[in-house]
Amino acid sequence: MLNLRLYQSIEIAISSGSTLTKYFFQDQPQLRNSAINAIQVFTPGNMTATPVTGSTPVTLADLKKATITLYSGDLQVILNLPLLSLNNISNGTDPYVFELPNIDGIVISWVKSYVTFATAPATTNVAISFGAYYRLPQ
C-alpha cells in the first residue's frame, strides 16, 4: 500500500557573489506547526531548474560540503546532518541513500534552521532545492 504524504517544495537562494557559509530557510507559512516526516534534497543531476523559482540548482561539489541544522522551537534537534544524506534519487552519478531519514513528525522552526557549507559555495546565483513531506497540524 502506498503511504501518500503531503509535500511542499522549499528553496534557499544563494545570491550572486555571496561569500557566506550559512544560509537560513525563509519562513514557510504553509508548514507552520506541521509535523515533518521527511526532508529531501535535490541535486543538479536530479533536475535542471528548481521547482519554486526556476533557479539553477546548487552544484554537486557544493552539496558535498554542506550540512543541515534543524530547530524545533528553540531546541536544536538535528545538527550538521550531511545534505546528501537527504538525496534518495539514484541517477547514476550522484551519491544517494536508499531511503530518506524518518524525521518522525518533528515541527520545524524554519527561520531558525539553516544549511552550512564548509567553505563558501563556489557557484552563486543558484538555489538549494528541498522537498518536505508532512502532516497537517492536529
Examine the pLDDT at 1 and tell me if it is beyond 50: no
- Write down the pTM of the prediction: 0.93
Number of CB atoms found within 10 A of residue 94's CB: 17
Q: Check residue 122 and give its pLDDT.
A: 93
Which grid coordinates are listed for 124? 552563486
pLDDT score of 102: 87
* Distance of alpha carbon 106 from alpha carbon 85, whole angstroms: 18
State the amino acid at position 42 in one-letter form: F
Distance between alpha carbon 79 and the CA centroid of its chain, in Å? 14
Picking from 111, 129, 84, 108, the residue whose alpha carbon sits closest to that of residue 25 is 111
pLDDT in tens, 20-71: 999 999 999 999 999 999 999 999 999 999 999 999 999 999 999 999 999 9
Task: Give the domain ranges of the chain.
Answer: 7-135
Give CA–CA dist 109/117, Å, rounded: 20
Beta sheet of 66-72, edge-to-edge order: 22-24, 114-117, 66-72, 75-82
Instruction: With cut-offs at 50, 70 and 90, classify the pLDDT of residue 93.
Output: confident
DSSP 71-125: EETTEEEEEEEEGGGG-----SSS---SS-----SEE--GGG-EEEESS--SS-S
- pLDDT (tens digit per residue) in 99-129: 888 888 999 999 999 999 999 999 999 999 9
